[in-house]
Amino acid sequence: MSKFGWRSDKINNPILPGFNPDPSICRVGNDYYIATSTFEWYPGVQIHHSTDLQHWQLITRVLNRPDLLSMLGTPDSCGVWAPCLSYHKGKFYLLYTDVKRFAGNFKDTHNYLTTCTTIDGDWSKPVHINSSGFDPSLFHDDDGKQWVLNMIWDHRPDRSPFQGIVIQEYSEQKQALIGVRHIIFDGSELGCTEGPHIYKKAGFYYLLTAEGGTGYQHGETTARSKHILGPYEIDPIGQFITAKDSPLSPLQRTGHGDIVETANGDLYFVHLCSRPITSQRRSPMGRETALQKLIFTQDKWFRLENGGDKAPFNVGQQYLPLPATKNNHGVGNYNGDNSAIADFNSNSANINNIQINNSHFDDFENPELSIEFQWLRTPYPQEFMSLTKRPGYLRLKGMESVGSLFKQALIARRQQAFRYQATTKVEFSPSTFQQQAGLINYYNGSKYHYLYISYDEVVGKYIGIMNCEGDSSLAAKFPLGVTGVAIAVDVAVYLRANVDYQALNFSYSLDGHTFIDLGITLDASVICDETGEGANFTGAFIGLCCQDLTGLSNSADFDFFDYQEFY
């Protein structure tokens, strides 16, 4: 068992394992909902549900239509950043950024608002809020006003790009920002101030911001003011959560989060974290979501319940006591003083809360794709996948190359454990080296390990390995050579990936029982945030894909996908 073993008597961190960053949380009655970033993966914004803060279930992805989100051409690690989920007067609000450019001085960051009366319903056509920066959030004040915050991006070369946190009043009637925008906070000495949320308690407005960047200097800073427009006083302890001074803590990069109040008045903080597995501090599962208990001190500041303002007390705990329970139908978007508490008849999804087993077998008998899977960028998955053209199989139509920013035939699920095995069975008849299909361990267009079937003029149909480890030239390597292992033309092939922390071994079988290891151990740890160039904000996936660079759309039929975790 790993040091991250499951304890049934505790809340286990991370509560959302695998790529689930930038959490935003709200409570409606006895139901808790967390929204997390999805970047270039479609549909956008994952929503997890719980009734006890211990067991969480993925129930929907909100941005599931072209008018809500289209990311064709969006660069790696752009797309949907840092959503803010709130509930107010019978309606859910989701504010999110769709990032179209990251590299260089300029950032194209479009912020949108969509609403729905049910968490898993048909969300409204989005309202464009602004494009001045990213990480927007919406605060519902007790005087009836609503305020939008976001970090403001400064592209001028002689300025800090993180200019500060801007706030402006939002008119729901006009569906637009109104009045003057104000920069209310320029951050602490840690810098890179982003991810703002405002709360109201004990006569103060509290501003929480993520700082220090997304790496190992990350943290969360608190400031407060008697007035929403400031001035804001920074908490004298500095970051109330950070692992920057605790390199041996199992939870690293702690920060960027949101506060929720339980029915009996307890306070919890959801935040991102990562779990590096090598001495190079590589995190294949990217940034995950954890939970911490908070207290509110006599001098009116938020603190972690485990106490202290210095390392190792401000890094966050791996295990938490289970929360007290109380039947209450209040609304827990925390803005303090229980001012949001109101009677509520929950009309959300009817969800049975059970301990989630992340092992997953899909025989593709259902005509709808399992919620475990996502694809890249496009709102038109019917262009490359079908579960009905050959019932009982997932058919992937060969599209553009691995790494294409437009049309990839790739469906995958998150890696959510350090050790797992993934297996599939595929029928594929390539007639040229430009046609490939198989099993892929994928981070982005320049970081992947790919066990594929293709064709060579000399050996015919064969199994090969292609990998790319973050090279900016996107130059793929072929560890088995370009012709790999020859196989018969008309046979189905079982493909398997075994990941044991940083070791990845591919194997294949022709009968589904005897698997032949291909004899090469690949470095799974490079499929992570910390390697390669440019933006790296997501996490490792394992899935199925098909390419046809001739443009003839040769297809591959996958009989099943089996993902099994080991502890």
Q: Is 154 a catalytic residue?
A: no
Q: How far apart are CA 40 and CA 78, in angstroms?
A: 6
For residue 464, give the nearest of 431, 443, 440 by alpha carbon: 440
Query: Strand, coil or helix: what is 453?
Result: strand
Cα radius of gyration rounded to whole Å, the chain: 24
Q: Point out the catalytic residue in the list 22, 235, 261, 288.
A: 22
Secondary structure string (H, E, C) spanning 491-529: CCEEEEEEEECCEEEEEEECCCCCCEEEEEEEEHHHCCC
Q: Point out the catalytic residue in the list 31, 98, 194, 427.
A: 194
Strands 24-28 and 31-36 come out as antiparallel
Asked whether the beta carbons of 186 and 193 are under 8 A apart, the reply is: yes
| Encoded tokens for 14 | 């991370």
Q: How far apart are CA 420 and CA 441, in angstroms?
A: 12
Q: Is 471 a catalytic residue?
A: no
Asked whether the beta carbons of 330 and 340 are under 8 A apart, the reply is: yes
For residue 52, give the nearest of 9, 91, 87 by alpha carbon: 9
Q: How far apart are CA 266 and CA 296, in angstroms?
A: 9
Q: Respond yes or no on whether the N-terminal peptide bond of residue 14 is cis (omega within 30° of 0).
A: yes
What positions carry a catalytic annotation?
A: 22, 194
